Amino acid sequence: DIQMTQSPSSLSASVGDRVTITCQASQDISNYLNWYQQKPGKAPKLLIYDASNLETGVPSRFSGSGSGTDFTFTISSLQPEDIATYYCQQYDNLPPAFGQGTKLEIK
Amino acid sequence: QVQLVESGGGVVQPGGSLRLSCAASGFTFSSYGMHWVRQAPGKGLEWVAFIRYDGSNKYYADSVKGRFTISRDNSKNTLYLQMNSLRAEDTAVYYCAKGSIGYCSSTSCYVFDYWGQGTLVTVSS
């Protein structure tokens, strides 16, 4: 099975900061990588699919890049409503696997 | 708009059974693969099971294979998860999730574009 490793596990940043989260796959997954946002007590929400495609309705401050084994998720200017846990997920091979999550807090 | 509403969660003893339901609306249910994904308290996300849009193919995580059964009734726009031989480690919020591509094949089925609010299953004596 493919393992997904996110870093950092938690992150504290100020409003307006640029925030970057990385996700590494244990083997080449091409661009079959998604990013989800989960706010406390809520269901996850798809933000980015196929590594770099923004889901409809998602603000443009969110972006993703990468291919192969190394991927990056970026928030260009952190907003208070972005406080959440973010997960990457691969779907190149079954079973689909999530990273362990990155908890983002406001400093 | 797309809505997924889970029900059927609760407290069950180890070794017991439970059936979860997910009522879907706002899209053509019979055209999309559907999934169950769970989240243990304070933990990350774990994919559990998938069923093809027509019910002809089903896949399971190794952790639930042989104990859980995913099914669907396209006439009722409803997804199910029958959970047998439940263990303490099955305690989690269970989400149903919609695959993003209609009539999908292979791994393209595994992008989850809409999720329900979840239903809590607690396995405890």
Q: Which residues of A touch B95 (CB under 8 A)?
A: 43-44
Is A91 in Cβ contact with B110 (below 8 Å)?
yes
pLDDT at B102: 85
Q: Is A72 on the interface with B (CB under 8 A)?
A: no
Nearest residue in chain A measured CA to CA from B93: A43
Within its chain, how far is the Cα of A72 from the centroid? 7
From first to last of its 107 residues, chain A has per-residue pLDDT tens of 999 999 999 999 999 999 999 999 999 999 999 999 999 999 999 999 999 999 999 999 999 999 999 999 999 999 999 999 999 999 999 999 999 999 999 99
The span from the CA of A96 to the CA of B93, in Å, is 18
Q: Is the peptide bond before A8 cis (omega within 30 degrees of 0)?
A: yes
Phi, psi (5° rounding) for residue B88?
Answer: -55, -35
Is B113 in Cβ contact with A46 (below 8 Å)?
yes
* Nearest-CB residue to B107 (from A45, A55, A92): A92
pLDDT at A5: 97
From first to last of its 125 residues, chain B has per-residue pLDDT tens of 999 999 999 999 999 999 999 999 999 999 999 999 999 999 999 999 999 999 999 999 999 999 999 999 999 999 999 999 999 999 999 999 999 988 887 788 899 999 999 999 999 99
Q: Which residues of B touch A93 (CB under 8 A)?
A: 107
